[in-house]
Amino acid sequence: MIELNKVTYTYPFQKQPAVRDISFSVNPGEAVLVTGASGCGKSTLVRLVNGLCPHFFLGEFEGDIHRNGISCEAQTLKEISTLVGTVFQDPELQFFAMNVDDEIAFAHEWLGKSAEQIRNIVDKTARRLGITDILSASIHELSEGQKQKVAIGGVLSLAPSILVLDEPSANLDPESTRELARLIRELKARDIAVLVADHRLYWLEDVVDRVLVMDKGTIAAQGNFSILEEPECKEKYGLRSHRVEDVRQTLPSLPDTGHIHVENLTFAHKNAPLLYENISFSLGKGVTAIIGDNGTGKTTLARLLTGLSRMRQGKIFINGKPVPGKEVLKRSALILQNTDHQLHMNSVVQEIAMASGILNPGNVKKEGLMAILERFGLKHLAERHPQSLSGGEKQRLVIACGLAANPDIFILDEPTSGLDGRNMKRIADMIQSASDDGISVVVITHDLELLSKVCDAALRLPITARPAP
């Protein structure tokens, strides 16, 4: 059981507390959802529960936290770690080993358990989570859903009584999300107290018992899941939809002709069987979603469409004219999932200048660039360092950078992962606006809300060969 009583916490070097006067509890066998717009204090709340605040981040702490009846004052972080298990948004970042079994065994090896004991724990955990078939696999070969399971397995093998899940559905496809929901229900049945902090809400309706909506560091609303059904609550606190339609099967298929046409595409990875054989399709000027299970080649297709990977055979036509591979690269933009890799410069305005093809941003006329920033609501951040922006702002900046080069094809890989409702809507508006400007936009996403908001058609993988029209 976890109990917070009038907790206020301020990070070092900050004047304002990140959370103020927080009181709530999670009982054994209960699941509580914490949600709210970015910067509302959700992550700090998670850190307070797992002891990172104040033990790791230091700072000023007031109030009291009881974990299984023991006051936080009497506990070190190491002691708390035996009671509270935490799984992060990107589980790979918390892996210390390269193989699944070694990862589950890792914490136990540090606890000085015998090899025999650890083997039993690894086997038992794998059976419990249904991952026995991937025990010897590399963590790099796993899907996001499998990584999530391995991370949860590693944590559960330590037998915690409290489990904290930070943005657990951000990188998961709808099927893996459903599987996660089932797992949380199972953990509740085993009397584990579960705290979930997430932006995506639709999957939690039958999972959580209570909801805490945070705003500006305080609990602004709380109750059962039905409080999320109120439109004012969603609007006021920048939340995502509590119920989302799965449009993956209902989105129209691709048109027969379009702005971009791919003819007789054949491709295989090195030393691998053919992934695409002689396929042809057309992309219209709207927003197309690439839909398919893991391993069907969604990202590979995006790379081929942008000219980053070379086709074994096939041609790309833009506006009816064949375009060679190198030229395709110049006429397309691809926004990768990790925004950090795409930000290089000292300020937001320099980043836009670089993306516009200006090698010496110091000499650039600012007016044109400021107009681009204004269009995407980034003007007030022009002189800020790109790496100091929030997740939503970074995402908007990389999209603005992609559009600054006036591409014909614009591809976005999971552009709304980990974003709150307000930021998700802003990204959706940017995508829509690019599409309205006549660009063929392609979105690879597991975000059902984004799919239903902006996508006009779907390219479903795997594609079977069909002759060029």
The token pair at 410 is 């614009």
In angstroms, rounded to a whole number, what is the distance separating the alpha carbons of residues 58 and 101?
34
Residue 359 DSSP one-character state: S
Residues 297-326 contacting another protein, CB under 8 A: 306, 308
CB neighbour list of residue 391: distance below 8 Å, 6 or more residues apart:
38, 339, 418, 419, 423
Count CB atoms within 10 A of the CB of residue 385.
14
The token pair at 112 is 């000085």
DSSP H/E element including 373: helix 366-375
| By CB under 8 A, residue 110 contacts another protein | yes
| By CB under 8 A, residue 112 contacts another protein | yes
CB neighbour list of residue 253: distance below 8 Å, 6 or more residues apart:
457, 458, 460
Q: Given the complex with another protein, which of 78 and 365 has the nearer CB atom? A: 78
| By CB under 8 A, residue 371 contacts another protein | no
In angstroms, rounded to a whole number, what is the distance separating the alpha carbons of residues 97 and 151?
11
- 282: Cα separation from own chain's centroid: 29
Q: How far is the CB of 342 from another protein (least distance, A)?
A: 5
In angstroms, rounded to a whole number, what is the distance separating the alpha carbons of residues 332 and 304?
11
Residues 340-369 contacting another protein, CB under 8 A: 340-345, 354-355, 357, 359
Q: How far is the CB of 271 from another protein (least distance, A)?
A: 10
| By CB under 8 A, residue 14 contacts another protein | no
User: Binding marks (x or -) toward another protein, 209..238, rule CB under 8 A?
Assistant: ------------------------------
Q: Given the complex with another protein, which of 263 and 408 has the nearer CB atom? A: 408
Q: Residues touching another protein: how many (CB under 8 A)?
A: 64
Residues 179-208 contacting another protein, CB under 8 A: none
CB neighbour list of residue 208: distance below 8 Å, 6 or more residues apart:
31, 32, 33, 196, 225
User: Binding marks (x or -) toward another protein, 372..401, rule CB under 8 A?
Assistant: ---------------x-------------x
Binding piece for another protein, criterion CB under 8 A, among 10-18, 111-119, 225-233, 290-298:
111-119
| By CB under 8 A, residue 468 contacts another protein | no
Residues paired with 35 in a beta bridge = 213
Binding site for another protein (CB under 8 A): 50, 52, 55-56, 77-78, 81-82, 84-86, 88, 92-99, 101-102, 105-112, 115, 118-119, 122, 136-141, 154, 158, 306, 308, 329-330, 332-334, 336, 338, 340-345, 354-355, 357, 359, 387, 401, 405
